Amino acid sequence: MGCVGSKNQGEEPPKKEPKKDDRPNKPKEDGKKAENGKDEPKENGHKPDGSDKPGDGSDDDKNKAQEEKVDPISPGDVEEFYKFGKEIGKGGFSVVYKATERATGKKYAIKRIQKDEEGVDIELLKREIYIMKKVDHPNILKLFEVFEDDDYFFLVLELVEGLELFDKIVDRGNYSEKDAANIVKQILEAVKYLHEEGIVHRDLKPENLLSAGEGEGEVVKVADFGFAKNFGEEKLVTSCGSPGYVAPEVLTEDSYTNAVDMWSVGVIIYILLSGYPPFYDESPPKIFKKITEAKYDFDDPVWDDISDLAKDLIRKLLVKDPSERLSAKKCLKHPWITGGAVDKDVKGSLIRLQEYNKVRKKEKGQVDK
């Protein structure tokens, strides 16, 4: 999801005096009900009966989906409620600003998306907004409210004072399997929650993972729900995702399930531990061929220092048959996640990851500052 900047990009908009704050979707204090009177999402997404199954498409599920699909747009001008600060990020179709809520002084990130920019799909954007408004989990980037005018959408997001996950890792002086397991556990918690809520992300990759904090206090956030979808509504058939992270069935089958996210998690773990992707070649078609064959290995010497438990988890995720792939819930019970990860520096992997990150950013057209 993205947008381009305005003509006065980077400049702070003129000050406006706030009006009476009657926004139904305004940010709320933790532990309170939303301003529209609806309860907060269930903790960790668990259903009352303790099951972890998504909606089965029944009338109750459909009615619930319709009830939750309320208008997420807050009334009024975004500048009445937020003071824009400096530009802190930019994508193909979006500009992100640091902003301050005028009434409270709290800091947020506001993503501005131009409606008429070529490549911006309004319907996909609205779906992303509905999904992000629905979810509430500590390992998922929070969307608080949305404003709209004739030219732009403005998404008021949680401000993460950190970096993309891989940028954060390569900045470290040391890095261990235990560090990787802590990161993966948080990604799995987010994916488990999404799947329990009937949502498939479909584009899990390094660029969509943010990191803030240090050591044991590091928090990983899953972001960018541009390809996300409620998989209880209809079959998943669209071929989408990013080369290198997309699951085999997305390329070869008529439809697929939320297991595609688990394949992507397997790819991320592989890269975190080795510093290079399991499926790589000169062109996407060659990459896709390797993916459809699930052709990868642990032959590189860098894997000599990686535990068998870590390799076991990867093998149970990068499996061609999605029905044999571990779910997020089962992954969280895997011994490598629950405490079996080795607390030993993997210097070779970190060096390789630094090189991979440079190549990845170069391919995206980014340059290091």
* Catalytic residue IDs: 203
What is the C-alpha separation between 311 and 302, in angstroms, rounded? Answer: 12
Q: Residue 79 in 3-state DSSP?
A: helix
Q: Which of 107, 105, 86, 106 is nearest to 96 (CA)?
A: 86
Nearest to 148 by CA among 168, 167, 164, 125: 125
Q: Running DSSP on this structure, what letter comes out for residue 321?
A: S
| DSSP type of residue 151 | S
Q: CA 2 to CA 101: how far, in whole Å?
A: 23
Q: Report residue 222: phi and psi, to 5°.
A: -85, 130
Which helix (H) or strand (E) segment is 98 a member of?
strand 94-101
- Count Cβ atoms below 10 Å from residue 201 Cβ, excluding itself: 27
The span from the CA of 137 to the CA of 40, in Å, is: 11
* Neighbouring C-beta atoms of residue 155, cutoff 10 Å: 26
**Helix, strand, or coil (residue 212):** strand
User: Any idea what DSSP says for residue 337?
Assistant: I
Q: Helix (H, G, I), strand (E, B), or coil: what is residue 269?
A: helix
Is 342 strand, coil or helix?
coil
